């Protein structure tokens, strides 16, 4: 991708097009400047024979106009040592006289002022082609702010933000971001909901810049978006539901360390750049490319931190068990990202249980409160077991599968306590379920157990899920493609 400018000879050069009344108006002026040998080149954008003068140069490819950011024709440039030092836009007889240092310019019959027309090099219909051919290699439309605008406020006012400040996605920053992946900028990653727009690597990179990502985070963001936009994950459903859910991201594999993700103390909180910006980049992309804005398609009644982007890494090195990615058949050398449709995290405190069975019962009781204690089987959960809690199980020789099974077993409830109207609460299961027992979570995958958090504190954390399965969302794990 190159963006070098074609060099111009020292002196004065002007950009014109035939389809511009002002340019037609000043042809006699251009003829006079040509005779005086003051004007070096006339670059014509739409007709190589206009005006018919020996110094007219064909710029119908728009390479020179685009490279020198010509926004209006006519534009008169002053070149010194191959560099533009000044310009004037449009036609003003008095300004051109001063600019060129000529007292007698034009005739009495010529109108003394005319503002000019838009340059073909800024035609929105041509921007993609011109950027790709002569510019940064990027095809997205470049937005230019007025000099008096505050770019941070301007981005917010244009509706690009999630409410937090954005990093301006300059060409240089987007190009640097794209260095983080081997994928081509125009590769289509997915159709992003709700508007089902083609999502390219370039568009993801733009939003990753705005989110504050580093280039090395980009492969995680791309893979996360591929996953989020899959039919199985049903991102459109997560937007449209009135529940406070969004994609919750966790990462496994060596990339956690190479991009310095946090899997320890405060892993669900602030302070780590990768954790804070990867999920945000995904959500900004869904908002800005797919149109998933709150109050529109996004109908959450309350919302949650997952709407900004809740992302963390599993502590594989400290865990007494194999990682979640290994549970799914991936090796320790493979990098993966898992998306779970979840709400915000909440704490489960147990500072007194000493035996693994006691703790399993306690954690099950904490999870029973997810969504509503009387609603079971339809909503999955993540359980992030803290190091001190995990040590209770590890010291007793419990495997992760055993912990998972026992927590689910201890969440089994008498359905007479769960049906509508039980305990004076209308919420609950249909009466047809009475006289039986059901676990809070599906035994075949309804609970994801992860290991992470700070070394001190007898705490774990649970993240409640949205409706699981075909009618809701199936959580997905994919290998990260660099």
**Domain membership flag for residue 166:** no
Q: How far apart are CA 27 and CA 361, in angstroms?
A: 89
Which residues lie closer than 8 Å to 337 by C-beta, 6 or more apart? 220, 223, 224, 227, 249, 250, 251, 252, 477, 478, 480
Same domain, 128 and 221: no
- Same domain, yes or no, for 129 and 180? no
User: Average pLDDT over the chain, rounded to whole?
Assistant: 95
Considering 74, 107, 134, which residue would you say is the last residue of a domain? 134
Q: Assess if residue 6 is contained within a domain.
A: no
Q: pLDDT digits over 15-73, tens only?
A: 999 999 999 999 999 999 999 999 999 999 999 999 999 999 999 999 999 999 999 99
128 pLDDT higher than 80: no
Domain CATH code at residue 58: 3.40.30.10
Distances (CA, A) of 419 to 266, 277, 298, 422: 38, 42, 31, 6
Average pLDDT for residues 136-140, to the nearest whole number? 80
Average pLDDT over residues 265-280: 97
Look at residue 101 and tell me if it is in a domain. Answer: yes
Domain check: are 330 and 442 in the same one? yes
Instruction: Tell me whether residue 79 is in a domain.
Output: yes
Q: Provide CB contacts within 8 A for 171, sequence distance 6+.
A: 3, 135, 136, 138, 142
One domain, residues 274 and 387: yes
pLDDT class for 423, splitting at 50, 70, 90? Answer: very high
State yes or no: pLDDT of 79 exceeds 80. yes
Considering the domain architecture, whether residues 124 and 231 belong to the same structural domain is answered as: no
What local confidence, expressed as pLDDT, does residue 433 receive? 95
- Judged against a pLDDT cut of 50, whether residue 2 lies above it is answered with no
Query: What angle in degrees, to the nearest 10, is found between the helix axes of 356-368 and 400-409?
Result: 60
Asked if pLDDT for residue 5 goes beyond 80, the answer is: no
- 158: pLDDT strictly greater than 80: yes
For the chain, give the percent of residues with pLDDT over 90: 90
Task: Give yes or no: residues 215 and 107 share one domain.
Answer: no
| Predicted pLDDT of residue 222 | 98
**Are residues 127 and 62 located together in one domain of the fold?**
yes
Which of residues 85 and 3 earns the better pLDDT score? 85
Strand-pair category, 56-58 with 39-44? parallel
Percent of the chain with pLDDT over 70: 99
- Based on the fold, state whether residues 320 and 448 are members of the same structural domain: yes
pLDDT in tens, 163-179: 999 999 998 899 999 99
What pTM was computed for the model? 0.77
Q: What is the pLDDT of residue 302?
A: 96
The secondary structure of 262-326 as a DSSP string is --STTTTSSS-HHHHHHHHHHHHHHHHTT---BTTTB--SS--GGGT-EEEE--TTT-SS--HHH
Q: Is it the case that residue 407 has pLDDT exceeding 50?
A: yes
Q: Can you tell me which residue has the tokens 């249909």? A: 430
Clarify whether residues 276 and 405 are in a common domain: yes
Q: Determine, yes or no, domain membership for 1.
A: no
The mean pLDDT value for 206-212 works out to 98
Domain match, 129 and 177 both: no
Inform me whether the pLDDT recorded for 1 exceeds 60.
no
CA distance 104 to 97: 7
- Res. 3: pLDDT tops 80: no
Strands 447-451, 379-385: pairing is parallel
pLDDT digits (tens, 9 = 90+) for 303-362: 999 999 999 999 999 999 999 999 999 999 999 999 999 999 999 999 999 999 999 999
Domain of 455, in residue numbers? 171-479
Q: Please say which residue of 88, 117, 134 terminates a domain.
A: 134
Structural domain ending residue among the three candidates 134, 160, 192: 134
Domain-located, residue 148:
no
N- to C-terminal Cα separation, the chain: 20
CA distances from 367 to 378, 405, 408 (A): 13, 14, 9
pLDDT bucket at 4, cuts 50 / 70 / 90 = low
> Does 33 map to a domain?
yes
In the numeric block, which tokens belong to residue 358?
């006691």
Q: Minimal CA–CA distance to 259: which of 209, 218, 300, 198? A: 218
Residues 124 and 195 in one domain: no
On whether both 471 and 332 belong to a single domain, the answer is yes
The predicted pLDDT at position 348 comes to 97
Looking at the DSSP assignment, which residues form a beta bridge with residue 459? Answer: 349
Can you name the residues that pair with 252 across neighbouring β-strands? 336
CA gap 203, 288 in Å, rounded: 9
Say if CB 205 and CB 178 are below 8 A apart: yes
pLDDT band of 135, cuts 50, 70, 90 = confident
Predicted confidence band at 148 (pLDDT cuts at 50, 70, 90)?
confident
Say if CB 93 and CB 110 are below 8 A apart. Answer: yes
- Domain tally, the chain: 2
The reply to whether 162 falls in a domain is no
What pLDDT does residue 165 have? 97
| Mean pLDDT calculated for residue range 443-463 | 96
């Amino acid at each position: 991708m190159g963006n070098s400018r074609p060099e111009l000879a020292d002196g004065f050069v002007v950009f014109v097009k035939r389809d511009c009344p002002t340019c037609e108006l000043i042809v006699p002026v251009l003829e006079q400047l040509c005779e005086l040998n003051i004007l070096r080149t006339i670059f014509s954008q739409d007709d190589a024979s206009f005006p018919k003068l020996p110094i007219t140069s064909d710029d119908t490819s728009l390479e020179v106009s685009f490279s020198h950011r010509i926004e209006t024709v006519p534009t008169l440039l002053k070149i010194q040592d191959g560099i533009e030092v000044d310009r004037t836009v449009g036609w003003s007889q008095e300004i051109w006289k001063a600019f060129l240092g000529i007292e007698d310019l034009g005739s009495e019959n010529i109108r003394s002022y005319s503002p000019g027309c838009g340059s073909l090099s800024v035609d929105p219909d041509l921007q993609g082609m011109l950027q790709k051919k002569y510019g940064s290699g990027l095809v997205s439309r470049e937005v230019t702010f007025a000099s008096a605008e505050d770019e941070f406020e301007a981005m917010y006012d244009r509706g690009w933000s999630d409410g937090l400040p954005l990093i301006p996605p300059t060409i240089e920053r987007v190009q640097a971001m794209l260095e983080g992946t081997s994928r081509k900028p125009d590769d289509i990653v997915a159709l992003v909901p709700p508007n089902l727009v083609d999502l390219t690597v370039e568009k993801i990179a733009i939003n990753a810049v705005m989110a504050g990502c580093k280039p090395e985070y980009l492969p995680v963001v791309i893979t996360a978006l591929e996953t989020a936009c899959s039919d199985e994950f049903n991102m459109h459903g997560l937007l449209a539901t009135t529940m406070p859910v969004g994609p919750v991201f966790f990462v496994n594999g060596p990339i956690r360390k190479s991009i310095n993700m946090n899997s320890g103390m405060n892993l669900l909180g602030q302070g780590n750049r990768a954790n804070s910006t990867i999920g945000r980049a995904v959500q900004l992309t869904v908002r800005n490319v797919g149109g998933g804005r709150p109050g529109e398609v996004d109908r959450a009644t309350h919302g949650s931190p997952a709407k900004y982007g809740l992302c963390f890494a599993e502590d594989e090195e400290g865990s007494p068990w194999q990682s979640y990615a290994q549970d799914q058949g991936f090796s320790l050398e493979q990098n993966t990202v898992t998306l779970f449709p979840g709400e915000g995290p909440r704490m489960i405190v147990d500072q007194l249980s000493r035996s693994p069975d006691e703790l399993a019962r306690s954690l099950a009781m904490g999870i029973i409160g997810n969504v509503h204690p009387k609603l079971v089987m339809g909503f999955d959960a993540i359980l992030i077991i803290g190091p001190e809690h995990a040590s209770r199980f590890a010291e007793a020789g419990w495997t992760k599968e055993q912990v998972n099974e026992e927590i689910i077993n201890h969440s089994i409830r008498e359905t007479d306590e769960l049906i509508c109207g039980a305990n004076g609460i209308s919420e609950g299961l249909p009466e047809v379920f009475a006289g039986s027992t059901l676990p809070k979570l599906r035994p075949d995958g309804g609970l994801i157990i992860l290991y992470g958090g700070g070394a001190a504190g007898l705490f774990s954390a649970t993240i409640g899920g949205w409706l699981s399965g075909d009618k809701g969302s199936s959580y997905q794990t994919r290998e990260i493609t660099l």
